[in-house]
A and B are shown apart, each in its own frame.
Chain A
Amino acid sequence: MAKEEGILLSPGRKTRSSSFSLSSSLPQNHRTFFSHTHLELLHGHCHSEESISLDTLTSSLPGRKPQIHEILRLIGPLNSPMLPLLLYGGPSTGKTISVLQTFRYLNRPFVYAGCRTCYCPRILFNSVLRQLLIREKNAGKGSSGARRCEKPSEFIDLLRISLIQVVNALRERNLKLGSEESDRGNMIYLIFDNVELLRLWDKSSTIVPLLLRLSEILKIPELGIIYISSSSPDAYYLCTGSIEPIPVYFPDYSLEDLHGIFMRNQSNPNLYSSFLSVVLKPFYRVTRRVDELSVAFHPLFEKYCDPLSDQCLVLDEAMKRRLFDNLQPHLASSLNDVFWVPSWASHQLKQEGEHRQKRFWKSIRKEASNELDFHMSMSVKYLLLSAFIAARNPATLDASLFDSSGGSNNPKRKRNLQTSLDKKDNMAEEILLKGPGSFPLERLLAIFQCITSVAESMVEDDHFENDFAIENENFQLTSDVLLQLSALCNANFLCKSGSCPLEGSTRYRCTIDEEMAVKVARSINFPLSSYLYRR
């Protein structure tokens, strides 16, 4: 077992430069990849984890038994060449873990490259090559600098060289060790994960065909390639025009599978099973992804267990009933919650006492529903509202809404407004269907001036505000307003849509929902509803 000492990289990568060089026929920059001191890189991988039996393999992955058998069949027995595989299926259906566990069972050397971690071609190449480090023979014969593989052609060259070296090394070792250690074979496998991301890299022009045709290009029988993708094989047909990889489909988990998955490693299987019987069905209708479900289940289970003093006790029917009643109100809300941010303070309060916590929650909820819980200055609020109005109303109605006097108590104007309203009824409906419209800066500023002047006159009439709050000159159109506009853009309340090429000016779009706008309007006593067109 002397071979197993060479655990990957653990002595540190710093000594990398004391390296070897390949045969002198190689171009200079190709040497970099062989300048690693680690001898048994590949072979170290599998040794850090113990290999597992077929039974543990299938039982650790509930519901994936047929797929695992399919993979095992396609990979074939020791030393048999294989065609490239494409494992596909929705996200979180156990593709990656199935392959990794399968190789753990097979105990064969492989190289894993996830396209998420390796976020650009160069890093992907380097990651693959780094894992294919080769036994060094001529140590100390000069090393090259830290130049790296940049182009696909270089990658292919280097990959071929290193693969051959690895395969040779494997074969050599098998010969040396004789029959009892030869169970690892002389095949080497490349696993590419998240292949669907490749299509986004460079508009799939070069890198996807390159990777998908890797086995064809390299023509090394000892190389097996496995692609893992969350998009179906159809997505890659156009790119290749070569032998298609054999697809293996990973379907979504069924109810029983999910039950099996969630029952693994539970400290109190009885309790958790009764919890799942309550929760799993309604959630199954929403999502079948294990990650989403586990995120949703975690807080629910805590709530479920709340009434229990001792979590180890055996549940009777009455108890189950009680727990269910306790959970019921939370269930519906958490089905709709996509993203719930608990506050850390409340989390700590929970540890202190149940009663206080409830009061705390109530206060939080109440506050959240009525008030804006962050600071915006008045003119930002007005600006936001005018953006909202500009996005909701058709531009042609602005003139009838805001006349120069700004007063809203002119009966004649109201009648005019009414008639124009009737006329444009259809238009308003259409706009509602279209969603928020875009508007140029000038229109926004014009509406801003109108509504601020109206607001000021209102304040003067009513005398509601403090004495010193009444200062007419406060809403001038200043550079501040433009700064505030950019602040709103920063907060994602407004977005700049692509500038209209004919007009040459940027257009804006307001992205807040009506609830928020009403909140803002309420905080400054602004009659928003009288400025919006609706049915």
Chain B
Amino acid sequence: MVRSPPPIRDSPSSPIAAVDASEVSDNNLQPFFVLHKARRKSERKSSASGRTKRNVDMPPSFPNPSVQGENEAIYERLRLEAFDLTWSKIDSAVKEVLMEINMALFEEILQWVFESFSTIKSMSPSEIMMPYPVATGATCKRIPTAMVLTKNIEFVDDLLTFQDLKGYMQSNGCHATYLSALDLSIKHGIGICLKSLCRQLGLEDSDAVDVPLIASWYCEPENYHKPIVVIIDGMERCNGAVLADFIKLLSEWVMKIPIIFIMGVTTTSDAPRKLLPSTVLHNLQPFMFTMESPRRRMDSLIEAVLLRSCSRFFIGHKVAVFLRNHFIKHDGTITSFLKVLKIACVKHFTGEPLSFFCSDMLPEDCEAFLSAKSESLTEDLQSYAFDLQSCQSEKPAGSNNLAQGLLELKRLQNSWTAVVLCLFEVGKLSKIQLLDIFCEAIDPSLCNERDVGQQLLSPLTPSHKVDAKTFSVKGSLIPQVIQKVRELPSESLCHLLSQWSLHVEEMIEIGEQVRDLHSKINLPQNGHISTGKPVDSIDRPLASSVMGESTPSLNDEVAILLVCMVRNFLVPIESVPFHEIVCFKDVAALKSFLIGDPRGVMQDDLLKSDGYLQSTSCGRRESDLSSSTHDTAILYNLAQEHDDLINLHDWYQSFKIKILIPRTKSKRKTQHLRSSPASKKGKFTSLENEATTQARFCRAVTELQITGLVRMPSKRRPDFLQRISFGL
């Protein structure tokens, strides 16, 4: 929902050109570096042109710009265009889907707003302007409040939803204002809330804002007779005291100014009770609304983005599983899902030389165009295409044509999508997520297990029920789904078939079978089953009695049809030739982007600081510590030799030895050269050395403490530091 920033964090200043590009960007995801890294002079130039380097497989400074170089540039541009096109399609599809999901809720809220507006007594302007409270009848001043349960503990997804809600309310005859949780913080107090309220209502800016000002604004004829909706996005994040004050303040005026709250609640409807005192709760007249759960949203997103052919960009099985796990285990937000998707998209279009075919496959009549384009490919790319792994392992008979291969891919993919959607229609009934079905259907090993369906074709017996259960334990959903089809009552079976017939429109022979089955089921009920409700209720006893005999056979027929579909058409994309062109499979790249591991990287960096710092001792052995290493790194390396508790004195002594050794060596050398060293002076310098060493030691320890790697001595054990290490 929230458009993530372009995921390529291209930093021209990143100096480590020795490491490859993906690692650079990996590092850049970390919140901070412990150490400054030295620049390597020779690399500056190439790092300045880092972007092109990553996008093109050839080195950017191609020795002599030949024809090949020009072609490369053209393809580069094509890939970029293809990316732009694909992503804009995905993006707009996502927006559309989310808006569609939210719209039902918005309409419901709007209806409620106007209903509660009508219950708030509206008074004449002269009454409203009175500075004292209304005396008559108002035994309790309650503000109508919509508690919108966002169903997700992470709130990122919902920030924009509430903004959209504001816009929707405004366009439907309300005064809408939006307060973020930050407005209601203890730091700002209640004045800021009112000020923000006034500003959004369009009052002239004044330094002292109070409610009578709003009242007088409301009395102006163009503002009158409209509810004032105050949207607060995340109520749990607000400061309880300020929110309580705010509610109390507005509740004194609720009989005069029709204020209506809409509050986002991320957890349960209990949340306000924990946040607000009971005296304030009595001033709220709450109603609960629920947003679509993140899982449902995710399903619709997957359906729109990855299944419906809004773009010809696909993900491989491993990527899908990674996405699913990330969603369930780490970050169940649409935002992060879109971020991942975008990263995958970028990676694919920059990494895959032929990826520009993605956008070319979009139009219906792309055949001629495709073949023309594939003809005109350079030799390199042609050979590259036919060297693709998928092409070699499973050489399709007689199709050495890239365009034909792509068209075949498109056709297979369309039918795959249709079957997955059919499966999902059943899955909906037994609460199976589309994401799960998707992951299973895209599994390339599915191809080899085609005979799985064979077992399920035989009629339903108790022994087969047990079979189905063993399947479910193993975790394959498709057999579960097929089993479900057999157990469906006729009513939902009919509904299912009508849904299927929509999905399989493009597959002619399957479509006919579905229609046949559908008409069979419809016959006894004169086609009323899915439309007329009253007729339905009358017909039901009749229908069930008729169906009682024919149901098993019909259910079985449908199940057989589904198995056929699964066997014939559920071809995972990764087993289709040329799939690499449109399918992104590189999980490792995604992982490195998404899962930042600041502590791990920090500790790693400290251990290998020499490599970054380009110190003079670069040529030495890896593990050897030298005095030229950065102090913090020395200390950290030394700490590795200790237990969890580090004796401060020991640590200091070993640190001192480490940094003094080479100096004394060199001193000795100089002493040999010079004939008479002044002993007094030597003493002085050693004292000075002691002081600087201590200072350096202190600074290094502090740095380690700031980065959270050690903890300062406690009162109980003043001589010991505690080492904190996780994840290594």
List chain A positions with a Cβ less than 8 A from chain B.
7-10, 12-13, 45, 48-49, 91, 96-97, 100-101, 104, 111-114, 116-120, 122-123, 126-127, 131, 146, 148, 191, 261, 265, 290-292, 294-295, 338-339, 341-345, 347, 373-380, 442, 445-446, 449, 463-469, 471, 474-480, 483-484, 487-488, 490-493, 502-505, 511
Residue of A nearest to B135 (CB): A100
A-B contact pairs, 30 of them (CB 8 A): A7-B126, A45-B130, A96-B133, A116-B248, A117-B212, A119-B190, A119-B210, A119-B245, A122-B208, A123-B210, A126-B210, A127-B212, A146-B206, A290-B140, A291-B141, A342-B288, A344-B108, A347-B287, A375-B293, A375-B295, A375-B332, A376-B153, A377-B328, A465-B475, A468-B324, A477-B599, A480-B331, A492-B275, A493-B267, A503-B712
B439 at the interface (CB under 8 A from A): yes
Which residues of chain A are near B436, meaning CB under 8 Å?
Answer: 466
Q: Could you tell me if A295 and B208 are in contact, using CB atoms closer than 8 angstroms?
A: no
Partner of A127, one of B191, B210, B248, B286: B210
Partner of B139, one of A7, A291, A376: A291
Beyond A469-B475, A479-B596, A480-B596, 5 additional contacts (C-beta under 8 Å) are A123-B210, A127-B131, A295-B140, A375-B153, A487-B154
B718 to chain A, nearest CB (A): 12
Give the docked Cα–Cα distance between A10 and B191 (Å): 26
Residue of B nearest to A343 (CB): B288
B202 at the interface (CB under 8 A from A): no
Which residues of chain B are near A295, meaning CB under 8 Å?
Answer: 140, 142, 282
Q: Could you tell me if B153 and A477 are in contact, using CB atoms closer than 8 angstroms?
A: no
**Segment touching A, from B53-61, B143-151, B392-400, B663-671:** B143-151
Which residues of chain A are near B267, meaning CB under 8 Å?
Answer: 374, 491-493
Quick one: given A341-B147, A342-B288, are A377 and B332 in contact (CB under 8 Å)?
yes
Q: Could you tell me if B289 and A294 are in contact, using CB atoms closer than 8 angstroms?
A: no
B6 at the interface (CB under 8 A from A): no
- What is the predominant secondary structure among interface residues of chain A facing chain B? mixed
Partner of A477, one of B206, B288, B726: B726
Which residues of chain B are near A483, meaning CB under 8 Å?
Answer: 331
Q: Could you tell me if A113 and B282 are in contact, using CB atoms closer than 8 angstroms?
A: no
Which residues of chain B are near A291, meaning CB under 8 Å?
Answer: 139-141, 282
Residue of B nearest to A113 (CB): B131
Residue of B nearest to A111 (CB): B131
Q: Could you tell me if B287 and A341 are in contact, using CB atoms closer than 8 angstroms?
A: yes
Residue of A nearest to B31 (CB): A479
Residue of A nearest to B141 (CB): A291
Among B150, B289, B293, B329, max chain A CB count under 10 A is at B329
B153 to chain A, nearest CB (A): 5
Contact flags (1/0) for B282-321 with A, using CB distance below 8 Å?
A: 1010111110011100000000000000000000000001
Which residues of chain A are near B140, meaning CB under 8 Å?
Answer: 290-291, 294-295
Which residues of chain A are near B206, meaning CB under 8 Å?
Answer: 146
Partner of A476, one of B108, B274, B439, B597: B597
Give the docked Cα–Cα distance between A7 and B126 (Å): 8
B137 at the interface (CB under 8 A from A): yes
Give the docked Cα–Cα distance between A338 and B321 (Å): 45
Which residues of chain B are near A488, meaning CB under 8 Å?
Answer: 153
Quick one: given A7-B126, A116-B249, A445-B726, are A341 and B329 in contact (CB under 8 Å)?
no
Q: Could you tell me if A48 and B130 are in contact, using CB atoms closer than 8 angstroms?
A: yes
A176 to chain B, nearest CB (A): 25
Q: Could you tell me if B724 and A442 are in contact, using CB atoms closer than 8 angstroms?
A: yes
B152 at the interface (CB under 8 A from A): yes
Which residues of chain B are near A466, meaning CB under 8 Å?
Answer: 436, 475
Contact flags (1/0) for B185-208 with A, using CB distance below 8 Å?
A: 000001100100000000000111
Quick one: given A341-B147, A374-B153, are A48 and B278 in contact (CB under 8 Å)?
no
Quick one: given A347-B287, A479-B597, are A104 and B135 in contact (CB under 8 Å)?
yes
List chain B positions with a Cβ less than 8 A from chain A.
30-31, 108, 112, 125-127, 129-133, 135, 137, 139-142, 146-147, 149-155, 190-191, 194, 206-208, 210-212, 216, 220, 234, 236-237, 245, 248-249, 252-253, 266-269, 271-275, 278-279, 281-282, 284, 286-290, 293-295, 321, 324-325, 327-332, 436, 439, 473-475, 595-600, 711-712, 714-715, 724, 726-727
A397 to chain B, nearest CB (A): 18
Q: Could you tell me if A290 and B139 are in contact, using CB atoms closer than 8 angstroms?
A: yes
Partner of A100, one of B132, B278, B331: B132
Q: Could you tell me if A374 and B149 are in contact, using CB atoms closer than 8 angstroms?
A: yes
Quick one: given A374-B153, A449-B726, are A8 and B130 in contact (CB under 8 Å)?
yes
Which residues of chain B are near A446, meaning CB under 8 Å?
Answer: 726
B140 to chain A, nearest CB (A): 4
Which residues of chain B are near A265, meaning CB under 8 Å?
Answer: 137
Q: Could you tell me if A491 and B327 are in contact, using CB atoms closer than 8 angstroms?
A: no
Q: Could you tell me if A101 and B135 are in contact, using CB atoms closer than 8 angstroms?
A: yes
Among A265, A378, A468, max chain B CB count under 10 A is at A468
Nearest 6 pairs between A and B by C-beta? A466-B475, A112-B132, A479-B596, A343-B288, A291-B140, A378-B329
Give the docked Cα–Cα distance between A487 and B333 (Å): 12
Give the docked Cα–Cα distance between A292 and B139 (Å): 10
Q: Could you tell me if A116 and B208 are in contact, using CB atoms closer than 8 angstroms?
A: no
Residue of B nearest to A118 (CB): B210
Residue of A nearest to B207 (CB): A148
Q: Could you tell me if A343 and B151 are in contact, using CB atoms closer than 8 angstroms?
A: no
Residue of B nearest to A441 (CB): B708
Which residues of chain B are near A345, meaning CB under 8 Å?
Answer: 108, 289
Residue of A nearest to B439 (CB): A468
Which residues of chain B are near A478, meaning CB under 8 Å?
Answer: 330, 595-597
Give the docked Cα–Cα distance between A478 and B26 (Å): 13
Q: Could you tell me if B216 and A13 are in contact, using CB atoms closer than 8 angstroms?
A: yes
A348 to chain B, nearest CB (A): 9
Which residues of chain A are near B597, meaning CB under 8 Å?
Answer: 476-479
Which residues of chain A are near B191, meaning CB under 8 Å?
Answer: 119-120
Among B153, B331, B714, max chain A CB count under 10 A is at B153
Give the docked Cα–Cα distance between A535 and B253 (Å): 52
Which residues of chain B are near A476, meaning CB under 8 Å?
Answer: 595, 597, 600, 727
Q: Could you tell me if B252 and A117 are in contact, using CB atoms closer than 8 angstroms?
A: yes
Which residues of chain A are near B151, meaning CB under 8 Å?
Answer: 373-375
Give the docked Cα–Cα distance between A114 and B253 (Å): 11
Q: Could you tell me if B211 and A117 are in contact, using CB atoms closer than 8 angstroms?
A: yes
Which residues of chain A are near B278, meaning CB under 8 Å?
Answer: 292, 338-339
Partner of A375, one of B152, B220, B245: B152
Q: Could you tell me if B287 and A480 are in contact, using CB atoms closer than 8 angstroms?
A: no
B435 to chain A, nearest CB (A): 11
Which residues of chain A are near B293, meaning CB under 8 Å?
Answer: 375
Give the docked Cα–Cα distance between A530 and B659 (Å): 50
Which residues of chain B are near A10, meaning CB under 8 Å?
Answer: 125-126, 129
Give the docked Cα–Cα distance between A339 and B132 (Å): 29
Residue of A nearest to B279 (CB): A91
Quick one: given A341-B288, A476-B727, A479-B31, are A119 and B249 in contact (CB under 8 Å)?
yes
Q: Could you tell me if B268 and A373 are in contact, using CB atoms closer than 8 angstroms?
A: yes
Residue of A nearest to B284 (CB): A339
